[in-house]
């Protein structure tokens, strides 16, 4: 039974690191927090060295004062275990706990997350401090949630040391039920003389002369995710023993090139799912990513979630760190709420004067309150208060996109037909036209219950096991519309090619069979019937039942089907054997959606306005976000209310200001 976070309205705040400042500054902090409407802050994330000055010796006096102060000012604490940054004394005593990278280099301490996830000394020390903290603050009235660790795996997702090797072997013995022959079979070790005669011969996939074994690498990725998850669960248990009623979270990073953890396995272990999201300076379109990541986190959580970190302005870890444009801070935050966030938090409250992140933006910038960011932060606080009633409401969708970390890991390993295939980019290409047209999307695992959906898309599913493949094809057979992207269904869960023609697992349902892939070179495109082009990929598809919707019009595959449609059972199955240009892909997905009976959340929404719906048992909350800066008039239900301005919309329309946001409550009758 999951514990819930009990806060009235939406949470608002950020990482609060008062230990970095003299105590005189704290009074100003809480005063300004009240001005901004901050109601929850994450504290103690990197405070281990201050809390435990020497092994087993504790000094909680400063944290006592911080929590008491927050409580006195009505600010809740999301209290972190400080285990992401072990102190220097720990590594002096346990140098064997330092991580070793892929090339065999032992990393040094001096930053954060420089520990080996399999280190027994680290586990003992982490659980000890988590236990002390849990027992001391279990009943503290400020503490409303445990924040376990910080961004597991951000810097140390993989450690290749001998201790990790032993842990990997233990994990493998369990997975293969102590049957080494089963492992040899799964890994295909007759290839290149890789046969193992003893478990002790197995090592992590360290730097080696040629391409490592694919299944070895994939099991390694699975192990690394599980190894960190076991640390998270162990901390969660220690905290639950001390404080059975307090919910626990840890901050995920479902986007931004981070792909180390299989969050489908993580999400069920946490009471509250939270996520950190940063924008890519180089991508002016990265507001799409807010929607995509929000929908993915909402799907992982099965409902509302918390945005634990994002930035008010520039970050400090990209080559050039772009500041946000006017209105962007507000638009970003409210877009996260639209996609299911029940709380908005930033890294961090007060911009640091010293340390590695001194050039990272914050809620209270170096310039202080005489700054645009501060004005925006205060305005946002008031607006989030005005949106309090959306808490607990959630989006629903009739379209699902299949998202699978195993498939992502496997496809992005070396020695594929093309090294240019990036999982996130492929999924984003298919997500984008749906986002632009206001179609709500859930993300699902291949073996999810699909009964709520009319349309299921698998833009990239290189690896799929039999159960997942059957689940997807029976969805079509029973009347659903399934669309599958190229190079899907190619291998099973052990990365073994499904023989007899691609796309292996989906051949029959799609009514096609491919005998050879023809990946395209980086700048190469291929013409498509109907006037579009394809990039990245082509293949020699033979229709074995499917009808050709569009064929390749040039190159060696002229006349060969590129996009096909197959009546399968009571439903339809599409195959897309290239990456169509955005207009062609949009038209294709529009046709598939129309045929499936999927509608956008609202019709008549002007171009550039994102429309997202959250629903409670009694009301619809329609978020309208202007991404083009043009503003618009949008029709709404009679008797609707715009919540940010508390305006009754008596004339049946709402004005979305240029670059702005409107949130409309429509009571269902």
Catalytic residues: 151, 309
575 near 563, Cβ under 8 Å?
yes
Q: Which of 378, 372, 427 is nearest to 404 (CA)?
A: 427
- Distance (Å, rounded) from C-alpha 451 to C-alpha 441? 14
Question: Which residue, 376 or 492, is less far from ligand GAL as judged by CB?
Answer: 376
* Selected range binding ligand GAL among 147-155, 182-190, 550-558, 639-647, rule: CB under 6 A: 147-155
Taking CB under 6 A as the binding criterion, the range among 149-157, 362-370, 451-459, 641-649 that sits at the site for ligand GAL is 149-157
Closest contact distance (angstroms) between CB of 40 and ligand GAL is 16
For the record, the structure tokens of 177 come out as 């039920």
Instruction: Calculate the CA 457 to chain-centre distance.
Output: 18
Asked if residue 626 lies in contact with residue 657, where contact means CB atoms within 8 angstroms, the answer is yes
CB of 112 to ligand GAL, least distance (A): 8
The answer to the question of residue 275 lying near ligand GAL (CB under 6 A) is no
* Shortest distance (Å) from residue 150 CB to ligand GAL: 5
Rg (CA), the chain: 26
- Residue 656, judged by CB atoms within 10 A of its CB (0-12, 13-18, 19+), counts as buried
Select from 19, 185, 357, 477 the one that contacts ligand GAL (CB under 6 A). Answer: 357
**Minimum distance between the CB of residue 280 and ligand GAL, rounded to whole angstroms?**
12
User: 187 or 266: whose CB is closer to ligand GAL?
Assistant: 266
Q: Write b or e for each residue in 478-492: b if 16 or more Cβ atoms lie within 10 A of its Cβ, otherwise e.
A: eebbbbbbbbbbbbb
Give the integer Cα–Cα distance in Å for 622 and 338.
Answer: 8
Q: How far is the CB of 463 from ligand GAL (least distance, A)?
A: 28
| Dist. CA 463–CA 496, nearest whole Å | 9
Interface mask (CB under 6 A) for ligand GAL, residues 231-270, using x and -?
A: ----------------------------------------
Distance of CA 165 to the CA centre of its chain: 28
Closest CA to 595 of 506, 507, 480, 509: 480
Pair type for strands 547-551 and 561-568:
antiparallel
Instruction: Candidates 148-156, 166-174, 185-193, 602-610: pick the segment binding ligand GAL (CB under 6 A).
Output: 148-156
Our CB check for ligand GAL shows the closer of 279 and 613 to be 279
CA distance 419 to 475: 31
Within 10 Å of residue 547's Cβ, how many Cβ atoms?
11
Among residues 15, 4, 70, 586, which one has the least CA distance to residue 347? 15
For residue 323, state whether it binds ligand GAL (rule: CB under 6 A). Answer: no
Instruction: Give the one residue of 252, 263, 347, 502 binding ligand GAL; rule: CB under 6 A.
Output: 347
The least distance separating ligand GAL from the CB of residue 109, rounded to whole angstroms, comes to 17
| H or E stretch at 49 | helix 48-51
3-class DSSP state of 491: strand
Q: Rule CB under 6 A: choose which of 78, 309, 342, 442 binds ligand GAL.
A: 309
Does residue 350 belong to the site contacting ligand GAL (CB under 6 A)?
Answer: no
**Total binding residues toward ligand GAL, as defined by CB under 6 A:** 10
Binding test (CB under 6 A) with ligand GAL, winner from 78, 227, 276, 539: 276
> Which residues contact residue 53 at a Cβ distance below 8 angstroms, ignoring those fewer than 6 apart?
59, 89
Q: For ligand GAL, which residue of 278, 281, 600, 616 counts as binding (CB under 6 A)?
A: 278
Under DSSP, the state recorded for 494 is T
**Of the listed pieces 115-123, 146-154, 210-218, 372-380, which binds ligand GAL according to CB under 6 A?**
146-154
Q: Which of 34, 49, 138, 154 binds ligand GAL (CB under 6 A)?
A: 154
How many residues would you count in the chain?
669
For ligand GAL, give the closer residue by CB, 219 or 309: 309
Site string for ligand GAL, 377-396 (x = CB under 6 A): --------------------
The answer to the question of residue 216 lying near ligand GAL (CB under 6 A) is no
Shortest spacing between CB 54 and ligand GAL, in angstroms = 25
Out of 113, 150, 249, 553, point to the residue binding ligand GAL (CB under 6 A): 150
**Contact residues for 499 (Cβ-Cβ < 8 A; gap 6+):** none
* Contacting residue, 169, 330, 331, 360, with ligand GAL by CB under 6 A: 360
Task: Evaluate whether 552 touches 527 at the Cβ level (below 8 Å).
Answer: yes
Q: Shortest distance, CB of residue 527 to ligand GAL, whole angstroms?
A: 43
Smallest distance, ligand GAL to C-beta of residue 147, A: 11
Verify binding: residue 122, ligand GAL, rule CB under 6 A.
no
Beta-strand pair 561-568/571-576? antiparallel
Q: Is 315 in the site for ligand GAL (CB under 6 A)?
A: yes
**Which of these, 223, 229, 210, lies nearest to 174 by C-alpha position?**
223
Could you list the residues that contact ligand GAL (CB under 6 A)? 150-151, 154, 276, 278, 309, 315, 347, 357, 360
């Amino acid at each position: 039974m999951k514990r819930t976070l009990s806060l009235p309205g939406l949470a608002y705040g950020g990482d609060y690191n008062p230990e970095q400042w003299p105590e005189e500054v704290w009074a100003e902090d809480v005063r300004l927090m009240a001005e901004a409407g901050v109601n929850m802050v994450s504290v103690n994330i990197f405070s281990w060295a201050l809390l435990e000055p020497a092994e087993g010796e504790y000094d909680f006096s400063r944290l006592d004062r911080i929590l008491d102060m927050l409580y006195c000012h009505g600010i809740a604490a999301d209290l972190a275990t400080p285990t992401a940054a072990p102190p220097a004394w720990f590594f002096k005593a346990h140098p064997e706990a330092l991580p070793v990278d892929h090339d065999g280099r032992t990393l040094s301490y001096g930053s954060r997350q420089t520990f080996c996830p399999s280190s027994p000394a680290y586990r003992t020390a982490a659980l000890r401090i988590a236990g002390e903290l849990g027992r001391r603050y279990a009943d503290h009235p400020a503490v409303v949630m445990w924040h376990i660790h910080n961004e597991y795996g951000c810097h140390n997702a993989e450690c290749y040391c001998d201790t990790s090797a032993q842990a990997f072997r233990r994990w493998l013995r369990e997975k293969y039920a102590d049957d080494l022959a089963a492992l040899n079979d799964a890994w295909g070790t007759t290839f290149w003389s890789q046969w193992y005669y003893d478990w002790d011969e197995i090592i992590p996939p360290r730097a080696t002369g040629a391409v490592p074994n694919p299944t070895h690498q994939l099991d390694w990725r699975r192990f690394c995710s599980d190894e960190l998850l076991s640390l998270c669960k162990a901390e969660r248990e220690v905290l639950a023993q001390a404080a059975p009623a307090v919910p626990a979270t840890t901050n995920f990073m479902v986007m931004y090139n981070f792909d180390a953890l299989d969050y489908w396995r993580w999400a069920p272990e946490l009471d509250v799912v939270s996520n950190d999201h940063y924008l890519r300076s180089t991508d002016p379109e990265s507001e799409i990513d807010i929607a995509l990541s929000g929908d993915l986190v909402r799907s992982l959580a099965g409902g509302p979630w918390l945005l634990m970190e994002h930035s008010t302005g520039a970050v400090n870890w990209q080559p050039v760190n772009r500041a946000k444009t006017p209105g962007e801070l507000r638009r970003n935050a409210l877009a996260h709420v639209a996609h299911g966030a029940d709380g908005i938090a930033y890294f961090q409250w007060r911009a640091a004067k010293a340390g590695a992140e001194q050039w990272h933006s914050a809620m209270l910038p170096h310039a202080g309150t005489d700054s645009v960011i501060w004005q925006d932060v205060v305005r946002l606080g008031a607006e989030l208060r005005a949106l309090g009633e959306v808490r607990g409401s959630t989006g629903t969708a009739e379209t699902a996109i299949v998202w699978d970390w195993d498939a992502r890991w496997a496809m992005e390993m070396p020695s594929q037909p093309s090294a240019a295939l990036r999982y996130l980019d492929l999924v984003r290409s298919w997500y984008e036209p749906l986002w632009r047209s206001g179609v709500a999307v859930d993300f699902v695992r291949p073996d999810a219950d699909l009964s709520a959906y009319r349309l299921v898309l698998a833009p990239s599913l290189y690896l799929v096991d039999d159960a997942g493949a059957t689940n997807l094809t029976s969805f079509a057979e029973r009347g659903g519309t399934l669309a599958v992207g190229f190079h899907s269904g190619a291998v099973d869960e052990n990365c073994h090619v499904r023989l007899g023609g691609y796309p292996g697992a989906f051949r029959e349902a799609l009514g096609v069979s491919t005998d050879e892939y023809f990946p395209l070179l980086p700048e190469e495109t291929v013409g498509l019937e109907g006037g579009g082009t394809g990039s990245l990929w082509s293949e020699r598809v033979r229709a074995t039942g499917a009808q050709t919707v569009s064929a390749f019009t040039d190159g060696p595959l002229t006349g060969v089907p590129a996009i096909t449609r197959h009546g399968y059972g009571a439903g339809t199955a599409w195959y897309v054997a290239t990456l169509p240009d955005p207009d062609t892909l949009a038209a294709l997905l529009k046709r598939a959606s129309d045929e499936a009976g999927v509608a956008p959340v609202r019709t008549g929404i002007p171009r550039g306005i994102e429309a997202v719906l959250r629903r409670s048992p009694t009301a619809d909350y329609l978020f309208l976000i202007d991404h083009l800066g043009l503003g618009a008039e949008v029709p709404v239900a009679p008797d609707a209310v715009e919540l940010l301005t508390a305006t009754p919309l008596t004339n049946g329309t709402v004005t979305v200001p240029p670059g702005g946001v409107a949130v409309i409550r429509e009571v269902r009758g």
